[in-house]
Chains A and B, each alone.
Chain A
């Protein structure tokens, strides 16, 4: 069962993004207060803010960590039309002793003419590459040719997606069988503009990214998108936050060696949940892509898990303020009372009470027990 603890974040405005580093020992948050904060986990499991600085001149939408083999590197993007790369350095002063670290701006990427809505580092096997997407519908891929010099980034690709982009996600698969691939989501709410999730794939021959697929069934605004950690699976899994939570499976068809076009993907919808009963804002996968967390405008965080038959189920609901969900309903608005217009006294009857959707309140994951190796005391015979 999961228990939520509040942390005094001390941001002066809404926090827009939370991001863990590779090891889960560091965390970065960004906010409308134009700042980014870096948090370190102490040995006793407490989080301490070790850096806080103004990063942009507008709301900071997203923050993300590079793989630690490139150093302690963060990227942020903002409404001020820029993305920035930050690196932690050991300063000249004794900052370490005060428990604060120094982050300096290595570069500002100013190519976008509109708000930069998402920023993501490419999987580490591709080198140090950074992707941004912006409200004018352009995805930009930058590369740092020299990982020792983070102030030089060259714009490698500029891909126009035609629709205002809200989110981007790299396929993390490092398998050589899978060419580099990313998905981009659009928050354009006009359902007539077609699919709001596009998938692009790198083509070795043309050395360009080409559209491999558009998920036409996702016609509503998409707020977040997340490729699941591949973990050596033969297919890719994509979670989408739109008016509901959706999980898609993208199965690459075996490619003939002669064909040079993008990989044909067989798109299957694995799950679709409208339990949030409202717009879904974010989705996030755990490290083995066996647990999915989603948040929605109902103010709840929901956890999803698949069984062996690949059936996804909700295994936990928590309110946004960390309190457990009380009552049988997950919808704060699900209960309504119809009162006749001829109310004269306070003794009216309640009718039309509609019971809300029954929210399953199940503790969703096993406790992390003290890890001890099982005692093999009795010698089992070697027969089975």
Chain B
């Protein structure tokens, strides 16, 4: 600890005090930030703790090592070893009581001056202080001083020393006669008392580790090794000792002292400190020179039974308290895994806790469990409403909620599904309206189109406009104006169908958007309605809508201004109106108002200002394109837009792609982005043109969605989904899972029932209540042998079960439908797959309510406990 190199010592008895020693001794008290913040001069050590400097002692120059007196009284007594080999007792900021006064300032002087390397107080007999010194010819290097001994005026004290000490100390406090002298003709670099026997002292000598026994100082146990620095005993395992040499740590077992039980991986730089954690079993911290990390070795002394050569488990890790280089560290004596670290320069201190490594896992229902140290933490979402509404819910949570609200199951009013999904997602809204319009068109028998009209409708506008033929061009007048408009508008059957799919017009041959406009007005989408009216060349209606919007409750008065501007429309190419509108329109915030002026100011056929305004809904842009783009322009525009939508995974594009391979591509991008397999599964099922369902990607989404429902234990929802899917995709129906065969003839007991419509599926209907048309059957329809008997009522199976058997608890008043359902199930034939005993389901259930073992005599099968999943309750049952 020369000069700038600091060290830290925790007080053995005050968990809030420590000493930093570099060129002087500084005593600090550590406390919470809050308490000491008001006081000046506190040093923050961490976010929660700060240190206050209590005292400074610079009386002892040339410090080499320091050791804190281990007993309560006197507190704050320190032994300081100096460069000249003297050991001085000193104190820090204490009210000196008598014992302390006597001790402080006492000096222990070796015969020959040389550096004192190490000091160690005996933990039991605290009067004994061991000092390790450098070599001086044949002199002893380990001196054990008795601090209670008085000054001994021995002649052997050299005159030089007396002169030195007599300067500032009265001679009575100088002790020159050690209690024991050990390690002759050697050097001592480190020392520690063994905790298993306080008479034993372990010393790191020049080339060996030696154990001295104070009861017989002539004897020593030793082992030759280079690892002689920093000997330290594991406080939790008194036979385990660590020492080091250069960058390598050796772990010793004193019971097997011949060689290290373990050497830890060598570090490139020499070590400066090695310390056992006082609060954790087998945790060793090491620090090398010029390093900013502390390396930790978690040793588990559990021996493995495989062989003798196995080494103990070591978990190695390194921690970095801060960026700069670490001078020294000290474990806190009682706080778990806590240490104070001091930097190599400038005495920067940090209160630092080594965190246990945390392992964690998400459950299928989005709760997080983690293990930290020996503790488990279950992290669940708390039910605080409203606080987090701003933060978007995770898709897993959304899908769970949507599954609960039967999202996707509305097959008639298909558009309502977006409301079931929460009604807040514009993409889903667009998707479900698209599918609704497709369904409407497909069902429309008035529609006369060649080929399979269903597949045309579901093939999307992209494919519809590709085959366009017989397009007529018309130049209509502006409504309410006599002038001939020079805007060409295109008509064809395909374009008409496209407009229907966009939702602009409803059935019928004439293009009438009035119904659509009224619904938009009702929805208070004034700008959009106005734009649609304008695109239908009804400028008067457009203005009227804007006026309505301005005067409506909470309406925007600016709409009147827009209406005013609109009314000034002129088709003069060089008018001021045109010039101003085309430049100022870009400042309009509403995209629909913006495209209105874009439309009015653009040349016929060049409508990029409308077509590429991305904040306008895709359906409106497509409808616009279908009206105003020529046969050459239209497919090109639609193709471009389709690719854009596919790239972005934007569900609005389903309008263009339909439920085709293109649509699957688009949905793939959407699933890639969101993971929303629920929407993907349901929407792909809606179309019902078989080929998309055969796409492996679609099958994959469906399987993944079913798997999610299973993991959430939404088994009823999964079953409902399967039913739903079976209706739309008959190929997905599962085959019969089980049938019951007769013991005698081996035929299925339902197979031979020719009345059964579904072969092999009839076993569930076997009971009497299953199908009223059948007579009661208690024998095999094939061979007429009787069916097995119920283990409880001993009736042949197939006999109607008497209601509420045995217990007669007729007071349980369930509602009628539920009772009916249960009564039917009671007749079912159930059996245990393990012991193959069985009976009526109702009887079996009531038996196992009170028993664990099978009702059949001599059978010890625990039929009901065999299946753990069977005991789980579905989480979506009402």
Contacts and interface: CB of A to CB of B under 8 A. Distances in A.
A151 B697 CA distance: 37
B394 A337 contact: no
Contact of B306 (A80, A327, A383): A80
A341 B366 CA distance: 52
Contacts of A80: 304-306
B872 A333 contact: no
Interface stretch (B378-386, B578-586, B742-750): B378-386
A32 B356 CA distance: 13
Interface stretch (B417-425, B631-639, B818-826): B417-425
Interface string B163-195: 000000000000000000000000000000000
A232 B369 contact: no
Contacts of A290: 394-396, 675
A71 B783 CA distance: 38
B415 A384 contact: yes
A308 B381 contact: no
Contacts of B365: 24, 287
Contacts of B503: 383-384
11 contacts: A3-B381, A8-B376, A14-B298, A15-B372, A15-B373, A18-B376, A232-B671, A234-B668, A234-B672, A333-B46, A337-B45
B668 A2 contact: no
B831 to A, nearest CB: 17
B149 interface: no
A59 B300 contact: yes
A281 B361 CA distance: 12
Nearest to A371: B404
Contacts of B52: 346
Interface string A324-366: 0011010011111111110111111010110000000011111
B567 interface: no
Interface residues of A, number: 126
B364 A23 contact: yes
Given A14-B374, A322-B379, A22 B711 contact: yes
Given A24-B367, A295-B357, A6 B674 contact: no
Nearest to A24: B363
Interface in B320-379: 320-322, 324, 343, 346-350, 352-353, 355-379
Interface stretch (A154-162, A206-214, A259-267, A373-381): A373-381
B353 A295 contact: no
A19 interface: yes
B784 to A, nearest CB: 36
A343 B392 contact: no
B56 interface: yes
A169 interface: no
A175 B41 contact: no
A199 interface: no
Contacts of B711: 22-24, 287
Nearest to B674: A308
B656 to A, nearest CB: 16
Interface stretch (B117-125, B542-550, B605-613, B862-870): B862-870
A230 B705 CA distance: 11
B449 interface: no
A166 to B, nearest CB: 11
Interface secondary structure of B, over-half rule: mixed
B35 to A, nearest CB: 15
A179 interface: no
A233 B675 contact: yes
B704 A230 contact: yes
Task: Pick the 4 closest A-B CB pairs, nearest first.
Answer: A299-B355, A24-B363, A295-B358, A15-B371
Interface in A97-112: 97
Interface stretch (B101-109, B428-436, B591-599): B428-436
B125 to A, nearest CB: 35
B157 interface: no
A20 interface: yes
In the complex, which of the residues B352, B369, B383, B393 has the most CB atoms of chain A within 10 Å of its own CB atom? B369
A262 B266 CA distance: 40
A44 to B, nearest CB: 13
Interface centre among A287, A296, A363 (most CB of B within 10 A): A287
Contacts of B267: none
B423 A339 contact: no
A31 B389 CA distance: 39
A232 B302 contact: no
Contacts of B396: 286-288, 290-291
A253 interface: no
Contacts of B405: 371-374
B641 to A, nearest CB: 18
Contacts of B360: 18, 282, 284, 293, 295, 301
Residue among B300, B405, B422, B668 with max Cβ neighbours from chain A (10 Å): B300
Given A3-B379, A96-B865, 10 more contacts: A14-B298, A14-B356, A27-B363, A232-B680, A281-B358, A301-B368, A310-B673, A372-B404, A373-B406, A384-B415
Contacts of A299: 353, 355-356, 358, 372
B754 to A, nearest CB: 36
A183 B406 CA distance: 38
Contact of A9 (B44, B363, B371, B868): B371
B387 interface: yes
B76 interface: no
Contacts of B761: none
Contacts of B423: 374
Nearest to A59: B313
> Quick one: which of B375, B436, B712 has the most chain A CB within 10 A?
B375
B522 interface: yes
A346 B675 CA distance: 59
Contacts of A6: 375-378
Contacts of A333: 46, 320-322, 350, 352
